[in-house]
Amino acid sequence: MAANITIPDFSIAPRIDQVGVEERASRFTKRSLKNETKINGLKLALNMIDLTTLEGKDTDGKVKQLCYKAMHLHDAYPGLPTVAAICVYPSMVSVAKKALGDSGIKVASVSTAFPSGQAPREVKIRDTKFAINQGADEIDMVISRGKFHQGEYNFVFDEIAAIKEVCGTTTLKVILETGELGTYDKVRRASDIAMYAGADFIKTSTGKIAPAATMPVTLVMLEAIRDFYYKTGKRISMKPAGGISKAKLALHYLVMLNEVLGEEWMNNQYFRFGASSLANDILMQLMKQKTGVYQSADYFSND
């Protein structure tokens, strides 16, 4: 398949109209959603979450607890979907894999010297191989932002391609860390590089840098995915991550996804939320819809 894709000159990637993108993105937040749609949307969003813990203080216990949470989001509400995946550091992959068993929830591992990406390529490759050998179903890699800013697009491209080669059939998510890229033009260019180099997902952020995912940045990336689809016929998936902690915001993202890419993308194969506290807020909204009473975080598990 890759053979018949011509790789474009990334230095002439489309320029982005900042004002236009921000205006357009803010429009998606003004749609009226009726209750039934809202409930379905919330359940769908829940099913798209990559429940994430990426902290230096992560322990086996913490990861096991998170996995339990992934499988039992809120037992007081029967019939809820599970989250899509658990996202952890490579050292926690085997713990998560064991804890999740045959629940069908995937294990995603960050890799390539996450979050900075400042390591030699062979280290990044070994990091990725380790995660895959431990049983990771998905790899979340970071791009070399420093090289990208220096204009060494070939370096960035080759690195992604090298990691994709290691991944084989394992899903590869490429984190652009848009908060460090600075302009929408660069976000668009980095998106193009990642997709042509073999990314299955493009992902906004590590969650370690502010700003993380925003709606305009996600819109730029969704439009890059759409253009790539028109050119190559290949569907790339999207994962905004970081800073999405409210159910309402998640619904805005789904509205945007639906209006930019359409229904084929409205499932967890093609769209994910990288989040940790989003799940509880969605659960609280779902319980609000069910009981008619505003909910309290006191009655939902912390992890």
Partner 1 sequence: MSNRIEVLKTYKIYIGGQFPRTESGRTYVATNAKGENLANVCLSSRKDVRDAVGSARSAFGGWSARAAFNRGQILYRIAEMLEGRKAQFIDELIKQGATKTAAENEVSLSIDRLIYYSGWCDKYQQIFSAVNPVASSHFNFSVLEPMGVVTAIAPQENALIGLVSVIAPIIAGGNTCVILASQSKPLSAITFAEVLNSSDLPGGVVNILTGKVAELLPYFSDHMDVNAVCYAESDAASKKMVKENASLNVKRVVLYENTKWMTETAQSPYFINDFQEVKTTWHPIENIGGAKAGY
- Interface segment toward partner 1; rule CB under 8 A; list 73-81, 99-107, 167-175, 295-303: 295-303
Rounded to a whole number of angstroms, the distance between the first and last alpha carbons of the chain is 41
Does the protein bind partner 1 through residue 297 (CB under 8 A)?
A: yes
Active-site residue, 75 included: no
Count of residues for the chain?
Answer: 303
* Minimum distance, C-beta of residue 50 to partner 1, in the bound complex (Å): 26
Q: Which residues pair with 221 in a beta bridge?
A: none
Nearer to partner 1, 296 or 302 (CB): 296
Nearer to partner 1, 11 or 32 (CB): 32
Does the protein bind partner 1 through residue 9 (CB under 8 A)?
A: no
User: Pseudo-torsion of CA 265, 267, 273, 275, nearest 10°?
Assistant: 180
Task: Name the active-site residue from 140, 192, 200, 281.
Answer: 140
**Nearest-angstrom CA–CA distance, 159 and 156:** 5
Does the protein bind partner 1 through residue 294 (CB under 8 A)?
A: yes
Written as one string, the DSSP assignment of 230-270 is HHH--PPEEE-BSS---HHHHHHHHHHHHHHT-GGG-STTT
* Minimum distance, C-beta of residue 76 to partner 1, in the bound complex (Å): 12
Crossing angle (nearest 10°) for helices 153-167 and 184-197: 40
Task: Name the active-site residue from 137, 200, 239, 281.
Answer: 239
* Minimum distance, C-beta of residue 299 to partner 1, in the bound complex (Å): 7
- Interface segment toward partner 1; rule CB under 8 A; list 36-44, 222-230, 232-240, 287-295: 287-295
* Minimum distance, C-beta of residue 300 to partner 1, in the bound complex (Å): 10
Query: E strands within the chain?
Result: 49-52, 85-88, 106-111, 138-142, 171-175, 201-203, 237-239, 273-275
Does the protein bind partner 1 through residue 295 (CB under 8 A)?
A: yes
Does the protein bind partner 1 through residue 296 (CB under 8 A)?
A: yes
Q: Could you give the maximum distance between any two Cα atoms of the chain, in Å?
A: 56
> Residue 168 region, left (φ>0) first, then alpha (ψ -120 to 50), else beta?
left
Q: Of 299, 301, 302, 303, which lies in the binding site for partner 1, with binding defined by CB under 8 A?
A: 299
Active-site residue, 203 included: yes
Active-site residue, 140 included: yes
**Nearest-angstrom CA–CA distance, 61 and 211:** 30
Q: Of 4, 36, 293, 302, which lies in the binding site for partner 1, with binding defined by CB under 8 A?
A: 293
Nearer to partner 1, 129 or 246 (CB): 246
Nearer to partner 1, 37 or 295 (CB): 295
Residues classed as catalytic: 140, 203, 239
Q: Please give the residue ranges that form the binding site for partner 1 (CB under 8 A).
A: 293-299
